[in-house]
Amino acid sequence: MPELLSIRDLRAGHGDAVVIPGLSLTLAEGEALAVLGRNGVGKTTLLDSIIGVTRRFGGQVSLAGRDISALPPEARARAGIGWVPQERNIFRSLTVEENLTATALPGKWSLARVYEMFPRLQERRGNMGGQLSGGEQQMLAVGRAMMLNPRLLLLDEPTEGLAPIIVEQLLTSIRRIIRDEGMATIIVEQHARKILKVTDRAVILDRGEIVHQAPSADLLADPGPLEQHLGVIAKGAAA
């Protein structure tokens, strides 16, 4: 598959702190990548650097052969990156439908398609974002990102704080976006085994560097690297 995302020698962080000291990574068109690691190792900083909300000290980020390193976040979104941050960042004072359409870009993902994937959002389309449950807000955040009709979807801890039944519903939707729609996706997630079931490949970060990478199926079959680098997180996810 052709290369979609290229990160070369990225050095990035917040303020004067360098969190990612020199990371290189590529993602092919239609490929799904899991980014794993303990808390505080740079997983979120990596996604934030792709969308452009961190300080870049060096290196390059390219999308479909175009250097986007100097572009602000809104320009990267228009270039084809959909982002669902850990905080969701929905518009709490707008309705569900207004949230979905406020930043929408032309393409195959329309209100009808989002409502078909998340029927609960259609039921709640007149409710304000602040009136939704945590699970509904996460569905809305994913739906809003898809309404940008992106080439690359970034998901930061999409299942965090959600009830198990909502987690399964959300993972089913993410699997459909990846497998049926062929959406290139990068997912940061603590529940390693759950997300490895819907991704093609995984990298494990430590101190902002890739310390292990393998096909997701290999890590599911042999969880040794998960236990080595993630410790109790991987063991808990395997339960």
| CATH code where residue 49 lies | 3.40.50.300
The strand order across the sheet containing 17-28 reads: 17-28, 3-14, 55-63, 66-67
Establish if 140 belongs to a structural domain.
no
| 234, pLDDT greater than 50 | no
pLDDT at 190: 83
Taking residues 145-172, report their average pLDDT: 95
Q: Is the residue at 43 inside a domain?
A: yes
Q: Flag whether 48 is in a domain.
A: yes
Q: Is residue 44 part of a domain?
A: yes
pLDDT score for 2: 93
pLDDT, mean of residues 171-182 = 95
> What mean pLDDT is reported for the chain?
94
Lowest average pLDDT, out of 179-183, 192-196, 231-235, goes to 231-235
- Please determine, for residue 201, whether its predicted confidence score (pLDDT) is greater than 60: yes
Is residue 193's pLDDT more than 80?
A: yes
Asked if residue 86 is part of any domain, the answer here is: no
Q: What is the pLDDT of residues 43-71, one digit of tens each?
A: 999 999 999 999 999 999 999 999 999 99
What is the Cα–Cα distance from 14 to 18, expressed in whole angstroms?
7
Q: In terms of residue numbers, what domain contains 50? A: 1-80+152-163+183-239
Q: Answer whether residue 206 is part of any domain.
A: yes
Q: Is the pLDDT of residue 235 over 60?
A: no
**Cα separation, 8 vs 103, whole angstroms:** 30
Residue 132 belongs to a domain: no
For residue range 78-92, list pLDDT tens digits in order: 999 999 999 999 999
Chain centroid to CA 14: how far? Answer: 20
Number of domains the chain contains:
1
Give domain status of residue 133, yes or no: no
